[in-house]
Amino acid sequence: MSTEPLMLSVSGLRGIAGTSLTSEVACRYAASFGIWLKGIHQSDAPIHIVVGRDSRPSGQELELAVVAGLTDSGCRITRLGIATTPGVAIMTMHLHATGGMVITASHNPAPWNGIKLLRSDGAAPTANQAEQIIAQYHQTVPNIRINKFGSVPVDPNTVEIHVKKILGIVDTTLIQKQRFKVVLDSLHGSGGPSTSLLLEQLGVDLVHRHAEPTGQFPHPPEPTAENLVEFCHAVRQANCDIGFAQDPDADRLAVVDETGRYIGEEYTLALCAMHLTSRQQARTPKVLVTNLSTSRMIDDIAASFNATVKRTAVGEANVADALRDQGGLLGGEGNGGVILPAISYVRDSLVGITLILQMLAERGQRLSQIIDSLQQYTIVKDRFEITGTIIERLEPTMRSHFSDHEIDARDGVRVDWPDRWVHVRASNTEPIIRVIAEATDPSTSRALVQEVGMLLTAQ
């Protein structure tokens, strides 16, 4: 048995390709999803599953395993080939399928791969549904030859359908008139073809870096400041209006302004929220949904435009579920993920790109000017390996140490003050503890992270 991590959570399945995430594991997980769908639908109609994958080389073998597992559980399959996560969600709805599966490890390093699950409405299963699927996985032991199933044809229409849907929500003529110059880093992930077509339709002068979906990531795939130093330099050197950086399955987006300054993932949701809420009638109630680890910028924006912020546990499925329940205008997370219900209930970097370009076109301002007009916060993020009793000690230790402060324990522990906050939780996608702190000055944020780090690592 592999000692490498295999993560099963509300975010799906992730592991190290070829060790903890083998073809057998993928086949079993796919079969479990098919069995679960048949159980909840209780219909004689065939279960129809849409399957796509990001560009990681390990995805080809895992796709064969997924198709085998689904076929063995009685499902009909439509393959999309290499496709973005939002593209798979949109095609799941477009084809009126019962569900979708995306073979991707999203932002995780290159050795990883994984599987995300989607329901018929294009949204990820809720936390409760994810638990049911995991329970089914532990009960399911398929006994099949993975290579025994014939080839399933690929539907070639994902890119065009995805782009057409997004173009329907913006003023394309207005954006086209601006002739924006944009640098885009698609990381050799799955987002290159669809994002290139989108920006072409928007009349953008595009400098496209790492466009082909080869899966050979030129730098660590998470779109963080330390991974995008060279990209920021390229934006500045090309004299562009803006730079956009995607992750491998194109559900996350980081932004760089025209000076080459890394604006980052936290600002992606904030900018989109500012754009949409400012365009609504002043007295119209508006709900924005995000998680406990996202910047207070969204609260500031909500206060300016008669909006309410609802916060959830971390995880796209939790945000999407609350967004639907609340009839929200926009949702997302501070990792660069934007969810626009008019398009789908998954994070979509193409939505973020389009809304930000429309905002720049309408306001006639440089991105740096808009960013500088916002209340400035500093978020500091750190991670700690899960060792010993760190999980068991997390909540009681935090509650004891911060007993005089406001505490939210819905997902790990978040502690709030009037001018700062810190959130500590176990990751859904990696075997680590995440610590995130935000304040109006860098030293306070760093001090909070260091304080919590010392608590977690103390024996």
Which residues is 287 bridged to in the sheet?
308
DSSP helix/strand/coil, 13 = strand
CA distance 97 to 144: 25
Q: Name the pairing type of β-strands 378-385 and 112-119.
A: unpaired
The residue among 227, 176, 231, 191 whose CA lies nearest residue 207 is: 231
CB 298 within 8 A of CB 288: yes
Q: Computed from CA positions of residues 219, 220, 223, 227, in that sequence, does the dihedral angle turn out positive or negative?
A: negative
The CA R_g of the chain, rounded to the nearest whole Å, is: 21
The residue among 208, 202, 117, 107 whose CA lies nearest residue 163 is: 202
Structure tokens of 194?
Answer: 């669809």
Q: Which residue has the tokens 């395993």?
A: 65
The residue among 349, 348, 343, 344 whose CA lies nearest residue 169 is: 343
Catalytic residue among 23, 58, 106, 186: 106
Which residues is 242 bridged to in the sheet?
182
DSSP per-residue codes, 91-132: HHHHTT-SEEEEE--TTS-TTEEEEEEEETTSPPPPHHHHHH
The backbone torsions φ and ψ at residue 345, rounded to the nearest 5 degrees and listed phi first, read -105, 35
Active site residue 9: no
**Residue type for position 235:** V
CB 251 within 8 A of CB 347: yes
Residues marked active site are found at 106
